[in-house]
Chain A
């Protein structure tokens, strides 16, 4: 309660209220995220339950009864007879799940390595940042394709079909940690030179405690900004990887997989299979991006004008 009051009284919230773009994007993002989280309650069908599907419902136009079965779907159905609305809601869950965990993964690796590099300096710093360079050499697409290959080699056969999602998370996360590490290192170098760190050394705090208890909380603002923008990026990356055939499995499609499937119907007139997932992805990524943008400006006091 106290926290809430403080949050409402904070400058951040004040600048939030003054930015219509931020308010609208927050509303859109929250609506979409809630819709995804509560998909099982909101969606009229469960598109992940293959037994409930009737292939003959395939390619129903939005709001029009299907020629074979007579059933009608608000946003139509896709090539497998899945209700597009339900598929989008469930797909958004997968996209957000992958995005959020990938960002979390990248954040944990990036923040820890960035902090260690900044605090230890010298050789440790050089090695970590050199690894970051090598990592940057491998763009996310390549990383994902390679990890897919590797994971296939190591996962037992009966787990391979569930592997895709985790491979996505790891590969998107792996290709994303560098920017966390770089930003955290930069911020931590600034913090490290501050006197409160000296004060902590002086009273006998060990390096681990100083890194995580003192420096870490002070570098979280830029991390938050990057995390927000990375979330949008991760969702898009997942979609891109899906185009290359290393995305979420078609039986449990993410938004990206839906778009990959839908783009095949761009010329054939079944526009709804592409249009609705694409618009959802656009809204989701755009609102998260705009929020990240606003957050970046709002957390940078120097730019507060």
Chain B
């Protein structure tokens, strides 16, 4: 008998445009000691399933049909008060973001003890001891001291351990982990996944691991359930589903995942993925404005030369110099980028990779160091106009497709703005033509110019962002995590687009990402950053196959492996 059995679950959200069915007739089961990976892209309904099991659907969502059985007992019809004795005690949940999952103004002890006392008939003393033991079990050093601390005194990974301790505090039978490692860095992610796996096996827990990350599934799950638009597409053993998917959707989904073990030229075009509805047009660039001029072919060899670049931020101002606090975001970083190549920067959060991009583009001034672009000084030391002229050739695509476009401007104005500011065109007609062409080029069609950003999906917005970046006819395009907020299938399309544009327009790319497999697919050479320092620069394949520095070795070994 399965630990948890979901039978024909239907979840509905009544809304303005009628009832939206988020989960359609899904049946699943989880056994003791088993990790079931629930995978799918955004909107697949995978998190909703988890919430529905625990009766935690956000209003106005409702479980419209289906049954949930826990250890032979039907629980979906229980009253809220009876259900409370199941939550936490028999089924626990782990949320995505450890930074927000803990009450910031109570100690860890308070939150643990409170949970224990809610469910177990033990004394306060016993509960406190139990809480310390729990922290010990999830791998928090010096638990007796740290238990008195507040959440903000823990790092992200440690907090997720606390969250897990909380979820385990009264020995539940089942844990629903909703994207438990998405907010964490690769190295921490590996540790947390390892912890979940250990606990599952040692305590004979059932685990539902909800995730969008195929690599995580491949590493962790015993069985996989694939969801798409509320429907369960395919269930099976991890190996079988990932290596030999039966269903078309699963096949195309897996095809879109960047493999960690090899470099492929292009992601295959897939039929059933959740496409952003755009199609890359065949576009004749010959004789076009974008390809006009000969600058793009002019330079060979090194296009950008960065020497001893440093950036220091003031984090706490004070009247006296000695009381001010600074943080060194980049410490004496040197690298060069050759014309036409894609140079990758990889690193975990806080490694300074995004700061490099912002200093290069002039969003932040450099504290010290040199940046020579095509023979011109970017720091402005040898003349502001020289730097400004060079900067016109450097453009950037940002990480967050939602915040990188001004929601109050029409797409046409957004794309045209760089031309207006830099007086690149003589009149509005010319500008409108170029905007139309750019939107065609990135596969959106010229009608997009009259719409507002909120009318587009994430992938489409990234295309708009790219169109804007191309509007000044740059030679050097910086992509700062351009796909980290996107689903894999969309990511595949955007990466393909970037590769196409690079070829057609002879662009040089600086590609910044925390995602090692993506780096492997995109880059010719890679620099690895940690704590503001550049640890290692090498050819991409060399980094992955024969990392030289210990940190790089750790990164590569701990990245979720999804090989094809």
Q: Do chains A and B touch in the complex (CB under 8 A)?
A: yes
Give Cα A297–Cα B102 distance, bound, in whole angstroms.
26
- B398 & A199 in contact (Cβ 8 Å cutoff): yes
For B362, the closest partner residue in chain A by CB is A202
- A217 & B396 in contact (Cβ 8 Å cutoff): no
Q: Say yes or no: is A136 at the interface (Cβ < 8 Å to chain B).
A: no
Residues of B within 8 A of A194 (CB): 400, 403-404
* A-B contacts, CB under 8 A, total: 59
For B58, the closest partner residue in chain A by CB is A305
Give Cα A199–Cα B465 distance, bound, in whole angstroms.
9
Residues of A within 8 A of B418 (CB): 203-204
- A204 & B421 in contact (Cβ 8 Å cutoff): yes
Give Cα A198–Cα B395 distance, bound, in whole angstroms.
11
| Chain B proximity mask over A192-223: 1 for CB below 8 Å, otherwise 0 | 00111011111111000100001001100000
Q: Say yes or no: is B18 at the interface (Cβ < 8 Å to chain A).
A: no
- B407 & A218 in contact (Cβ 8 Å cutoff): yes
- A203 & B408 in contact (Cβ 8 Å cutoff): no
Given A11-B16, A122-B317, A305-B59, also A202-B408 (CB < 8 A):
no
Classify the interface of chain A: helix, strand, loop or mixed.
helix
Residues of B within 8 A of A204 (CB): 388, 391, 418, 421-422
Classify the interface of chain B: helix, strand, loop or mixed.
loop
- A195 & B404 in contact (Cβ 8 Å cutoff): yes
Interface size class on chain B is 20 to 34
Given A196-B403, A218-B406, A305-B60, also A205-B421 (CB < 8 A):
yes
Q: Say yes or no: is A138 at the interface (Cβ < 8 Å to chain B).
A: no
Nearest Cβ distance between residue B138 and chain A, in whole angstroms?
32
Residues of B within 8 A of A122 (CB): 317
Q: Say yes or no: is A38 at the interface (Cβ < 8 Å to chain B).
A: no
Give Cα A196–Cα B465 distance, bound, in whole angstroms.
10
Residues of A within 8 A of B362 (CB): 201-202
- A203 & B399 in contact (Cβ 8 Å cutoff): no
Residues of B within 8 A of A209 (CB): 421
Q: Which of B60, B363, B405, B406 lies in contact with A201, CB distance below 8 A?
A: B363
Q: Say yes or no: is B417 at the interface (Cβ < 8 Å to chain A).
A: yes
Given A14-B16, A217-B408, A218-B408, also A203-B403 (CB < 8 A):
no
Residues of B within 8 A of A205 (CB): 417, 421
Q: Say yes or no: is B55 at the interface (Cβ < 8 Å to chain A).
A: no
- B317 & A202 in contact (Cβ 8 Å cutoff): no
Give Cα A84–Cα B435 distance, bound, in whole angstroms.
61
Q: Say yes or no: is B472 at the interface (Cβ < 8 Å to chain A).
A: yes
Q: Say yes or no: is B361 at the interface (Cβ < 8 Å to chain A).
A: yes
Given A196-B406, A217-B406, also A202-B421 (CB < 8 A):
no
- B422 & A196 in contact (Cβ 8 Å cutoff): no
Given A201-B363, A204-B422, A305-B59, also A196-B388 (CB < 8 A):
no
- A203 & B472 in contact (Cβ 8 Å cutoff): yes
Residues of B within 8 A of A305 (CB): 59-60
Given A201-B363, A203-B417, A205-B421, also A196-B396 (CB < 8 A):
no
Give Cα A215–Cα B399 distance, bound, in whole angstroms.
19
For A14, the closest partner residue in chain B by CB is B16
Nearest Cβ distance between residue B157 and chain A, in whole angstroms?
25
Residues of A within 8 A of B407 (CB): 218
Residues of A within 8 A of B398 (CB): 195, 198-199
- A196 & B404 in contact (Cβ 8 Å cutoff): yes
Q: Say yes or no: is B473 at the interface (Cβ < 8 Å to chain A).
A: no
For A219, the closest partner residue in chain B by CB is B408
Residues of B within 8 A of A199 (CB): 396, 398, 404, 465, 468
Q: Footprint of A on B, CB under 8 Å?
A: 16, 59-60, 317, 358, 361-363, 388, 391, 395-396, 398-400, 403-409, 417-418, 421-422, 465, 468, 472
Of the A-B pairs whose beta carbons lie under 8 Å apart in the complex, a sample of 14, sorted by A's number, is: A195-B398, A195-B404, A199-B396, A200-B406, A201-B363, A202-B361, A202-B362, A202-B363, A202-B391, A202-B396, A203-B417, A204-B421, A209-B421, A214-B409
- With contacts A195-B400, A198-B363 known, what are 20 further pairs, Cβ within 8 A? A195-B399, A195-B403, A196-B403, A196-B405, A198-B398, A198-B404, A199-B396, A200-B406, A202-B363, A202-B391, A202-B395, A202-B396, A203-B421, A203-B422, A203-B468, A203-B472, A204-B391, A217-B408, A218-B407, A305-B59
10 closest A-B pairs by beta carbon, nearest first, are: A217-B408, A195-B404, A194-B403, A195-B398, A203-B418, A196-B406, A204-B421, A202-B361, A195-B403, A198-B363
